[in-house]
Structure formats: C-alpha cells, structure tokens
Amino acid sequence: MENLLRPLIVVGGSVVLTLVIGWATDFLLRKADEQHHETPLWGLLRRGRIPYQLVLLAALLRGSYDEAQLLESRREGIGQTLTLVLIGSTAWLVIRIASAVVETSYSRYAHSRAQRDPARVRRVRTQVTLIMRVVSAIVGVVAAASMLLTFPAFRAAGASLLASAGILGIVAGVAAQSTLSNMFAGFQIAFGDMVRIGDTVVVDGEWGTVEEITLTFLTVRTWDERRITMPVSYFTSKPFENWSRGTPQMTGTVFFHVDHTAPVDAMREKLRDILRQCPAWDGRAYDLSVTDTTPNTMQVRALVTAKDSDDIWTVRVAVREQMIRWLTAEHPYALPRVNTADATPPPSHNGHRPSQDGVPHQQRRYHGSTRPDR
C-alpha cells in the first residue's frame, strides 16, 4: 500500500502545487494588467503561463522523483524525459518573456513616435522582428544542444566532435554560402535602414508594400494582393525604388498627347479645378507644361503632388480621367487626329469657324473614325 500511496502523493502533490502556483501567478499578472493600462507588459507575460507551468511541474517531478519510488526499472528513462521536458519548457518560457519585453519596449516607442516619425517606427518594427527571430534561434539551438548533452553517448563523443568541428565548419560554410549571405543581408537591411516593413517599393517592375522581412527572405504584397517572395540579398546587390524612404510625399506626372491646337492655358485652369475637387491632392504644387512635340501631336505633362504613394495614384487617375472627358466635351478639336483633308483652324473668338476655299466643312478622322466637322 505504501508503495502505491507514496508515488500518488508525490505526483499528485506536484500537479496540484503547479496548478496553484500557476493560477496565483496568472491572477497577479491579470490584476497588474488591469491596474497598469499604460503598458502591455503584464498582459504579454500571461502568454507564458503554459510554459511556466510546464517548468514548475517538470522541476517538481524531477526533484521528487527519487522519493516516489515508482517504476524502478524505468527510473533513468523517466528521469531523462523529465529533464528534456524541463529544458524545452524553459527555452519556451525564455522566448515568451523576451518577446513580452521587446514588444512592450516597441509599443512604448511606437506610441511616442507614431505621429512625429512614422518611418522611424517602421524601421524599429523591422529591427524588433529580426531581433526576436535571432533570439528564438539562439535559444532553440542552446536548448537543443543542452538536450543532446544529457545523453551519455553524446558526452562521450564530445571530444571527437570538437576535433572535427573545424572541418565540418568549413564544409558547412561552403554548402550554406547563399544562406549565410542572405542572413548577413538581413542584418544589413534591418540595421542599415535600407527597407522597412510597410515601405512602398518597386522591384523588377512590380509595385507593392513590404509585408514581411526575415533573415533570409522578404515578402512584397503587390497592389493586386499578390505576394512576391525574394531573397534579402537582392536588396543589397541590386538597385530598387523605395518610395517610403525619407518623407512619404510624392510628385506624380500625367501625360496627354493632344493636337497642336489644344488650349494649353485652358487645360492648366482645368487642372487647377480638378485638383481643388480631389481630396487626395495635398495642395503643395501643380503644373501643366508642353514637354514634347511630334509632327502630329504635342505632349502635355500635368504635374501633381500628394502625401504618399497611394494618394498620388488616386490623383493621377482622377486628373487623367476628368481631363480627357473635358477635352472630349468642350474641345474635341484638341484630341489627337489623323488628317484626311486640309486642317480647319479652331473656333475664333466670335464663335464662327472660318471656311477654306469656300468649303464650309471638311472631313477629318478622329481616333480612327471619320466624321464631319461641326
């Protein structure tokens, strides 16, 4: 009877004590989170309650296992298992605590800088993400090495492994050359402020937003919701456009090909009216100029500004659409055309159109179709 009662008391007592301590700790963290709304630290620490209880249970069982006198023939195996669980849960708990501390520091920094310097906040977000990945990788490697060292066979082979570590390191370095280059490129991107999470970039002709940065690859979400995954070494070896670096304000252009008789001054006034009615225009500047000519048309460039890349796209689309609609309705003679007869001048100031050689109307081809002048 004693052989059965003692193990039950030891194991049951360890489980009950773990649950009580875990509940008490979680209760204190919850109360602290309710009283300190200015920091998310206590709420984030509550995410570690499961590994925390695993650490307590494994430690209690490992320490009292000898007193339980349960399964004497399996003593070494059970003790080894408890040791492995203790190491793994400790590594898990360390990662959760480190994540809570880092996230709390970042949230405080982002709250104080979000309005004044959003670009800096995105840079710190990128650095924090990579730092947590590195910390998790280091803790995982240390935990795995500690687990292996608990086996006598690995401890006995330690000397031979250490002697061959140099050769293995050289072979691994050659085999993982591209992986290592991407890893160092990831650090260079994170701390060199080349590109950040949330930046608007153009790579290989694709426009999108940086969605994720790891030590080896970078994901860009395009405007049509596709994801482009690229090695981070691309951004350290090839040129790319970063529209969010520095100030997010942008200047955009809209080109029109019109007839030589197009009313440029009226187009300039119409551009001003369009922009005043466009909420995406930031009001900084606008301009309309003739930038080029050909034997049949002239090129007119409208220059507009906006606060970021999304708004500049909206402004350019609005200007292009409304300007063409206005030209079609008010000044159709200004549209590009291929002449099939002698050209007719635009209307005069009195509203009458002069005739040529006694012929009041001429045939012209507008946008590929022939219609009489009106």
**Domain for residue 195, yes or no?**
yes
Query: Is residue 359 assigned to a domain?
Result: no
Residues facing 300 on adjacent strands: 256, 290
Query: What pLDDT does residue 247 have?
Result: 72
CA nearest 268: which of 296, 289, 238?
289
**What confidence category does residue 364 fall into, taking pLDDT thresholds of 50, 70 and 90?**
very low
Of 85, 113, 141, the last residue of a domain is 113
What is the C-alpha to C-alpha distance for residues 124 and 111, in angstroms, rounded to an integer? 12
pLDDT of amino acid 374: 39
Same domain for 75 and 98, yes or no, is: yes
Q: Which tokens in the block code for residue 209?
A: 């937003």
> How many whole angstroms separate alpha carbon 117 and alpha carbon 102?
20
* Angle of the 49-68 helix axis to the 2-35 helix axis, nearest 10: 160
> Alpha-carbon distance 122 to 304, whole Å?
27
Shortest CA distance to 253 belongs to which of 314, 301, 313? 301
pLDDT over 70, % of the chain: 72
* Domain of residue 78, residue span: 2-113
Cα separation, 209 vs 240, whole angstroms: 13
Output 77 or 183, whichever has higher pLDDT.
77
In a shared domain, residues 213 and 261: no
Rounded Cα gap, residues 366 and 338, in angstroms: 7
The residue assigned the tokens 């507008």 is 366
Alpha-carbon distance 16 to 354, whole Å?
Answer: 103
> Coil, strand or helix: which one is 296?
coil
Question: Is 279 contained in some domain?
Answer: yes
Q: Residue 285 contacts by C-beta under 8 Å, 6 or more apart in sequence?
A: 251, 303, 304, 305
Residue 93 phi, psi dihedral angles, 5° rounding: -65, -40
User: Do 216 and 274 belong to one domain?
Assistant: no
**Whole-model pTM above 0.75?**
no
Q: How far apart are CA 58 and CA 49, in angstroms?
A: 14
Number of domains in the chain: 3
Sheet holding 369-372, edge to edge: 337-338, 363-366, 369-372
What pLDDT does residue 369 have?
A: 41
**pLDDT (tens digit, 9 = 90+) per residue, 267-312?**
999 999 999 999 999 888 899 999 999 888 899 999 999 988 888 8
In a domain, 159, yes or no: no
In angstroms, the CA 168 to CA 190 distance is 30
Question: Considering the domain boundaries, does residue 161 fall inside one?
Answer: no
Please tell me the predicted confidence (pLDDT) of residue 115.
Answer: 56
How far is residue 273's CA from residue 331's CA, in Å, rounded to a whole number? 17
Q: Are residues 15 and 72 in the same domain?
A: yes
Residues sharing a CB contact under 8 Å with residue 69, sequence separation 6 or more, in sequence order:
3, 6, 7
Does residue 203 sit within a domain?
Answer: yes
Please check whether residue 362 is in contact with residue 344, taking contact to mean a CB–CB distance below 8 angstroms.
yes
Specify whether 25 is located in the same domain as 92: yes
pLDDT in tens, 130-141: 778 778 888 888
CATH assignment at residue 207 = 2.30.30.60
Q: Is residue 130 in some structural domain?
A: no
Q: Which residue, of 201, 225, 242, is where some domain finishes?
A: 242
Residue 340 pLDDT class (50, 70, 90 cuts): low
Mean pLDDT of the chain: 76
Rounded Cα distance, 297 and 141, in Å: 68
Which CATH number does the domain housing residue 302 bear?
3.30.70.100
Q: Is residue 206 part of a domain?
A: yes
- Considering the domain architecture, whether residues 11 and 97 belong to the same structural domain is answered as yes
